[in-house]
Chain A
Amino acid sequence: NAGVTQTPKFRILKIGQSMTLQCTQDMNHNYMYWYRQDPGMGLKLIYYSVGAGITDKGEVPNGYNVSRSTTEDFPLRLELAAPSQTSVYFCASRPILAGRYQETQYFGPGTRLLVL
């Protein structure tokens, strides 16, 4: 299993541009998450999904959109990039049940985004 994969690894955007951050998992996990991590800060939840066709807002959803058409993929869309969206973005997934570790999340390698 490749686990959770994210593309691209790094991207520079100009203000006002749009882009999609890709996230794919091959573990057949129902739950998927998007976090952003700013320097010296913890992880803040942007959006999450409990299964294909179901998404919900997290703590910091403004400026982002998501979709979940398949179990495997959970892309994050930035429509009008702003400097405040400069951050490292992590995708994570977890199964509904995983024995003792029911809520353990498995993280992708991250996408580093710079908006200038």
Chain B
Amino acid sequence: GQQVMQIPQYQHVQEGEDFTTYCNSSTTLSNIQWYKQRPGGHPVFLIQLVKSGEVKKQKRLTFQFGEAKKNSSLHITATQTTDVGTYFCAGSAYGGSQGNLIFGKGTKLSVKP
């Protein structure tokens, strides 16, 4: 079945350093979404990428969708303590069951002040 792999599993950074998490799908995706989950919280939608090669920015966050629509990345510039949490990618396959999302296992980011 469809799988979404996400690396790294953990990332510890010093405040001010950059951070990147990568997401790879075993199948071509119709779209990919990114969610953030704060410790003890629930996943919160960040962004959706739909087009091949698409790049979107939200302040210090940059999201990319690969040309083949099978991989994606999230890059955070100059991390802050408020960036702490787990970042999940979630893909929806073409012809997938009712547009259901397959979630990666997430990258847990910790930021040392």
Across the interface, do B48 and A107 meet the contact criterion of CB distance under 8 Å?
A: no
What residue of chain A has the Cβ atom nearest to residue B98's Cβ? A50
Across the interface, do A103 and B42 meet the contact criterion of CB distance under 8 Å?
A: no
A45 to B100, CA, bound (A): 9
Residues from chain B with Cβ under 8 Å of A101 in the complex: 45, 48
A43 to B106, CA, bound (A): 9
Q: Does B101 contact A (CB under 8 A)?
A: yes
Residues from chain A with Cβ under 8 Å of B88 in the complex: 42-43
Across the interface, do A42 and B103 meet the contact criterion of CB distance under 8 Å?
A: yes
Across the interface, do A103 and B106 meet the contact criterion of CB distance under 8 Å?
A: no
Residues from chain B with Cβ under 8 Å of A106 in the complex: 45
A106 to B90, CA, bound (A): 13
Across the interface, do B42 and A109 meet the contact criterion of CB distance under 8 Å?
A: yes
Partner of A100 from B44, B48, B92 at Cβ < 8 Å: B48
Across the interface, do B33 and A107 meet the contact criterion of CB distance under 8 Å?
A: no
What residue of chain A has the Cβ atom nearest to residue B97's Cβ? A56
Number of A positions contacting B (CB below 8 A) = 26
Can you list, as one digit per residue, whether each of B18-51 has a CB less than 8 Å from chain A (1) or not (0)?
0000000000000101000000011111001010
Can you list, as one digit per residue, whether each of A104-116 has a CB less than 8 Å from chain B (1) or not (0)?
1111111000000
A103 to B69, CA, bound (A): 16
Q: Does A58 contact B (CB under 8 A)?
A: yes
Across the interface, do A102 and B43 meet the contact criterion of CB distance under 8 Å?
A: no
A41 to B108, CA, bound (A): 10
A43 to B99, CA, bound (A): 15
Can you list, as one digit per residue, whether each of A12-34 has a CB less than 8 Å from chain B (1) or not (0)?
00000000000000000001010
Across the interface, do B45 and A104 meet the contact criterion of CB distance under 8 Å?
A: yes
Across the interface, do A42 and B42 meet the contact criterion of CB distance under 8 Å?
A: no
Can you list, as one digit per residue, whether each of B43-77 has a CB less than 8 Å from chain A (1) or not (0)?
11100101000000000000000000000000000
What residue of chain A has the Cβ atom nearest to residue B45's Cβ? A104
Chain B residues near A (Cβ < 8 Å)? 4, 6, 9, 31, 33, 41-45, 48, 50, 88, 90, 92, 97-101, 103-106, 108
Extra contacts, 11 of them, besides A42-B106, A100-B50, A101-B45 (Cβ < 8 A), are A40-B105, A42-B103, A42-B104, A42-B105, A43-B43, A43-B90, A101-B48, A103-B92, A104-B33, A105-B33, A107-B44
